[in-house]
Amino acid sequence: MTSSTADSFAVVTSKSLPSTCFSSHVAEGAGSLVQPGWSSFVKVLSTSTVAGLVAIASNVAFVPTEAPTALSPFASTPIVQTPISALISNYETGDFDLVHGKHLLATDNGVFSFLAWFPRAVRDVYGEQAKISLRTVDDLETGAQIVEARVLSGLDLGDEFDRKDAELFEKIEISGLFSGLQHVVVSQG
């Protein structure tokens, strides 16, 4: 259920059951959810503190409710982050084809391991300010899509640039994760 759907719910007490079913009363410990559009009527859930959940289809009417005093049932829903999503969050991904890229990450352990490790190596060499852009590039020679990890260090070209670039590759070689470079190209931006 989407959050926009949740916005169209109102919780009311049985005492305030109106024939129009519009109410701004908020019941504590309200019960089940009613699907929007399913009914504009209030369902009675218990005999004592009867609470109901009115679903108002957004295309019929929208009833703004007062700020809830109880936590929304959605508030405690944890945001699930997959390992792949966690990995990608370390990169700038403006030009990254998520469908292809995620498939590659899910099917190629070498690529996953390398890209999971790489941001830490870049930070070690270039500092926290360095960014890495991850993008998918069409290889016009092979027709395949290649993942390019471009280091955006902001360094001017010169001795320091060369030294840090060499240092980064030393780390890659020492890491033993270079099998990931079969499908990933590291570049300097």
Partner 1 sequence: MLSSPKANPSNFDAAEFYAFASWLNHTKPSLSSQVLRRTIIGRAYYAALICASSATGAPTHGKDGHVNVVRALKQKDLNAGNKLDSLRLTRQSADYKASDISSRDVDTSLQAALVVLKSLGKAPSGSSVFNSDYLDPTRFLSAIAHQSEG
Instruction: Check: CB of residue 174 under 8 Å from CB of residue 137.
Output: no
Pairing of strands 51-55, 9-13: antiparallel
Residue from 59, 142, 159, 176 in contact with partner 1 (CB under 8 A): 142
Cα angle for residues 98, 101, 102 (degrees, 5° grid)? 80
Binders of partner 1: how many residues, by CB under 8 A? 22
The one segment of 15-23, 44-52, 97-105, 162-170 that binds partner 1 by CB under 8 A: 162-170
How far is 155 from 178, CA to CA, in rounded Å? 24
How far is 112 from 55, CA to CA, in rounded Å? 44
CB nearer to partner 1: pick between 59 and 142: 142
The one segment of 13-21, 26-34, 78-86, 142-150 that binds partner 1 by CB under 8 A: 142-150
Q: How far is the CB of 117 from partner 1 (least distance, A)?
A: 15
Q: How far is the CB of 126 from partner 1 (least distance, A)?
A: 15
Contact flag: residue 166 with partner 1 (CB under 8 A): yes
Burial class (CB within 10 angstroms; exposed 0-12, middle 13-18, buried 19+) of 20: exposed
Which tokens go with 180? 């990931």
Q: How far is the CB of 127 from partner 1 (least distance, A)?
A: 19
| Residues that bind partner 1 in the complex, under the rule CB under 8 A | 137, 139-142, 146, 148, 157, 161-162, 165-166, 169, 172-173, 178, 181, 185-189
